[in-house]
Structure 1
């Protein structure tokens, strides 16, 4: 019995689903920030893309060109489609994709690739353009939210009296974009609740950013002291008790509280790894507080050197009040460090009081110092807290996060287009 041509060669959505079933996962990730940008969302997206490739997926990534010139390049198996861009007035390292001509490029790219899913990491320029184009091409869209308005106030020079109104507008805009996608994730339950508290009516799934437990690990106990001494020398640190912060030195990170706490921790030095707009102010504060001899600004630390920076420290401290998870804190935990963190946003998810560290009230450097002293005054206590940090980090295996995202892509790709609706 003969078979019709239509049965042999399905067209439209049926053809796309048939093709998806015959190959491995193919995903197109869209983001407004990606390395060489230095921020948590960029680093997460890079780990996600490279991790998916290692698991056999075909990964295409759409992001701004760091030079401004559009091009395609393959790095670590990820096919980067770099869009024409211009410098951002808000941040020295972030560039903005130029919208003219982008929609036609997206249409051609989606028609050629036919990915199982599009995964947007931001709701700004690239994220919203790609989401709309993907829906027009019957490609499901997953969104991961890394955004809080507080992360932009300082860069955009928003006056403090206007920040509440700006925040409400920003949350409304985010909700409008996310309401059009098939599945929304964010790194922690606290970050998911925050979206719901801001009026977002759709389910939000917490999926940890994940951590590479092989790359970030504690020093071997038998050689820890000598190796830590060697690493401190390598980074220009004195061989003394060290509290560490890794991250941007920008307003919402509140690194000034870490510096002010040193007046109450006389035997401790602070190492700050990262760059940011507030570095000059922090240097002035260290001098004003008369602790400049115990504050070391390490500046930008290369990706390959970061594990050794954690191994220099005795305790990791973080004062940022706008953390949706904090990849740096996870890295510190995986490295076997006790944690002293501000009791704000998602950080309490990473601290079990008295078991892997302590929380302190926002804006209280004296309380921060008391917690640090409780950690470092007894080496046995410090070691016990660090061991539990490592065991907690094991709940955030990168492989588990990658596996979950792959499952989300497959499920979204299996949904009948009519059930998804349109933008």
Structure 2
């Protein structure tokens, strides 16, 4: 079944879980279902998706949904109502007697589970998905408050993470960032992982996929993700406008977000409204078809700790054009599977689009290289590594402590 010798009881705590639309929620969902699929007993504690608390079992995972409320001006997530979280979580930990508690952030549900797990003597794993840019966008903070708010948030996150037995991040860059922000212990980089069997090259299905979404049959740039400020999708739209007079290309955006209206207006202002398609929310089961519509994946965001969507695009055999920021450079080998461009570098991005949307042989070779690179991120490997971490923390406390502080 697994590399462990026993069935593990795992309690995962997260402040975002599907149907929330974001990378942390998707990762947590796939981690939970992946562990359950490997025979472990998995419970998730998270905000309710409609307000009222309830318990449900989905694909072998028991979801303990906490009472929740809408987040002002944020349609894609809800937050747990703080009142009663502590007592409910303590009772849940006592009843489930988990082998490990795995928390996904320093926000209320996760930090409460960490605290209650520690109080009960249960080992705790902390995985960081946080970037302050996400906070700025969701909280609608004014530009002048970003530096102070970011500093406060990082200090709080480092303080919460310090109480965990083992800390992970999705990439070496994300792990290094934690240390740069003052976290004094070792941070292990474990990829979020992707399903290589679901996301694979489908060049023969391109025409069918485009017809499925009502798209013209022309060279296609794809982006999958939230249409929010930190994703900088306006840069990609502006780059397309520079390329459009000389190249029959289009941009396909799969996702929803706060900036959709502005992005539609920008495309119209630049005279390319007919070249930008907004697919809205696309169910997870249909995402492989979205990637099948594309010739290249472009991501201009500057707050990616890994970018699951980029990995899925690579696994689907697409070249990648990515901003040279945060963890995205880990996913691009310049000239081999794509190109990097400076954040905000619209002219450079346009030039890279001209190159990739040029002769088909080069594009095809880059797509093959993307697929080869994506093989390193098989989600089965990620699941195995988390299993090993959980099992190691089940060792006697002195040995567990030694492993945590080792270099």
Q: Of residues 298, 305, 308 in structure 2, which corresponds to 1:317?
A: 298
| CA deviation profile, 1:108-134 (whole Å, cap 9, x unmatched) | 211121111000011101011111100
Gap change, CA 1:22 and 1:204, over 3 Å in 2:
closer
SS in 2 for 1:96: strand
| CA deviation profile, 1:69-104 (whole Å, cap 9, x unmatched) | 111100000000111112222522322212222222
SS in 1 for 2:11: strand
- How far apart, in 1, do the equivalents of 2:258 and 2:310 lie? 21
TM-score, length of structure 2 as denominator length:
0.95
Larger Rg computed on CA atoms: 1
Determine whether 1:56 maps to 2:56: no
- How far apart, in 1, do the equivalents of 2:135 and 2:285 lie? 28
- How far apart, in 2, do the equivalents of 1:161 and 1:85 lie? 30
How do 1:292-371 residues align onto structure 2 when only pairs under 5 Å count? Answer: 292-371=273-352
How do 1:84-123 residues align onto structure 2 when only pairs under 5 Å count? Answer: 84-89=67-72, 91-123=74-106
* Cross-structure match for 2:58: 75
* Cross-structure match for 2:230: 252
| Superposed structure 1 runs of 4+ greater than 6 Å apart | none
| CA deviation profile, 1:232-274 (whole Å, cap 9, x unmatched) | 1110111000001100000000000000001222221111110
How do 1:10-25 residues align onto structure 2 when only pairs under 5 Å count? Answer: 23-25=6-8
Distance apart, 1:419 and its partner CA = 6.7
Determine whether 1:391 maps to 2:369: no
SS in 2 for 1:170: helix
Contact 2:221 2:251 in 1 (8 A): yes
Unaligned runs of 5+ in 1: 1-20
- How far apart, in 1, do the equivalents of 2:142 and 2:357 lie? 39
How do 1:1-40 residues align onto structure 2 when only pairs under 5 Å count? Answer: 23-40=6-23
* Cross-structure match for 2:134: 151
* Cross-structure match for 2:405: none
Distance apart, 1:358 and its partner CA = 0.5
Q: Of residues 222, 238, 256 in structure 1, which corresponds to 2:216?
A: 238
- How far apart, in 2, do the equivalents of 1:176 and 1:236 lie? 49
Contact 1:138 1:417 in 2 (8 A): no
- How far apart, in 1, do the equivalents of 2:86 and 2:143 lie? 36
Give the CA RMSD over aligned residues: 1.5
- How far apart, in 2, do the equivalents of 1:22 and 1:323 lie? 35
SS in 1 for 2:322: strand
- How far apart, in 1, do the equivalents of 2:90 and 2:156 lie? 24
Determine whether 1:175 maps to 2:158: yes
* Cross-structure match for 2:206: 228
- How far apart, in 2, do the equivalents of 1:357 and 1:143 lie? 33
Equivalenced residues, count? 396
| CA deviation profile, 1:115-168 (whole Å, cap 9, x unmatched) | 110000111010111111001100011010000010111221211111111110
- How far apart, in 1, do the equivalents of 2:83 and 2:321 lie? 47
How do 1:373-412 residues align onto structure 2 when only pairs under 5 Å count? Answer: 373-412=354-393
- How far apart, in 2, do the equivalents of 1:403 and 1:31 lie? 20
Distance apart, 1:366 and its partner CA = 1.1
- How far apart, in 2, do the equivalents of 1:401 and 1:74 lie? 23
Structure 1 window deviating more from structure 2 (187-196 vs 21-30): it is 21-30
TM-score, length of structure 1 as denominator length:
0.91
SS in 1 for 2:111: helix
SS in 2 for 1:414: coil
Determine whether 1:134 maps to 2:134: no
Unaligned runs of 5+ in 2: 403-407
Distance apart, 1:22 and its partner CA = 8.8
